[in-house]
Amino acid sequence: MRIALVQAGIDWSETGKNNERTNRAVNGNPGADLYLLPEMFSTGFNGICEKDPAESLGTMKELAARNNCAVAGSIAVELDSGLKVNRFYFVTPDSVTYYDKRHLFSYGGEHLNFTGGTERTVVQWKGIRFLLTVCYDLRFPVWSRNRRDYDVMLCVASWPVQRRYAWDTLLRARAIENQCFVAAVNRVGDDPSCHYNGGSVLLDPWGREIAGCPDGEESVITGEIKMESLAELRRTFPVLDDADNFVLSV
C-alpha cells in the first residue's frame, strides 16, 4: 500500500482556503492508496468548529471518490447536540468512519471547548487495519496498545516545534512496542500561539523511516508499506505473545 503524507500549512480559520490546499495536495500527487492530512486541517487548532456534517468532510469524500483512495484527517465538528469534538475521519469511496480524539490537550485548553471520545477505532482498508489516533493521544501508550487488532497506527497532529523531540521519539516507540507501521502527519507554519515544523513520517515496525517530509516545508511524500514484512517480523519475533492482558476503562 502507498501512503501519502500531506504535510501542510493551515490558514487560521480559513476553511475554504484550507480545503483548496487539500484539493491541490491530493489531486497534484496521484497514485497513493491513502492520503493523510494534519489535525484540524481545515481551521487550525483554534476551537472554531464546522457544523455537522462538516463542509470539509464533503471535500474528503469528493477526493476519495475521484482518486479511488482513502483520505484521513481530523476536523473540529459541532454536533447537533451542541457538543464539540475533534473528529478524525477516515473516508473511502464507499464509507466514512470516524474517531473522536480521546485525550484532550488540557495544557492548551482543548478540554474547555471539546468533549473527548470514548471509543477506540480501528478501520480496515484494502485488507489493512488502521488504528486512528490524534496528536496528544501519542503520549498515552495504553490507549494505543496493539491487541493484535491493527497493522498501522495513524496519527494526525498540530505538534509545536518546542516539543518536536518528544514527537519524534514517541512515534518510534509506538512503532517498536506495537510491532506496527506508523504513519504520522504534523502541520507546518504558524498560528497565534505556536510555530510548527512538521516531522511527518512513515515508520516501519522497527521504528526506521520509510519516508519523511522535509522539516518546515509544505510537501506531499509517499511511501510504501509491505504487509509481508510485518507478518514475517511478528512470526519470527513474536513479542506481542508476551504482552500484558488488561481491561481499559474510560
- Catalytic sites, residue numbers: 39, 101, 135
Burial class (CB in 10 A: 0-12, 13-18, 19+), 122: middle
φ/ψ of residue 187, rounded to 5: -75, 170
Determine contact, residues 57/91, Cβ cutoff 8 Å: yes
Cell of 200: 511527518
Sign of CA dihedral 26, 28, 29, 32: positive
Determine contact, residues 186/212, Cβ cutoff 8 Å: no
| 243 vs 233: CA distance, rounded Å | 16
Dihedral, 213, 66, 224, 95 alpha carbons, nearest 10: 110
| 165 vs 240: CA distance, rounded Å | 27
Determine contact, residues 181/1, Cβ cutoff 8 Å: no
Dihedral, 161, 216, 171, 169 alpha carbons, nearest 10: -50
Look at the block and give the residue holding cell 481551521: 43
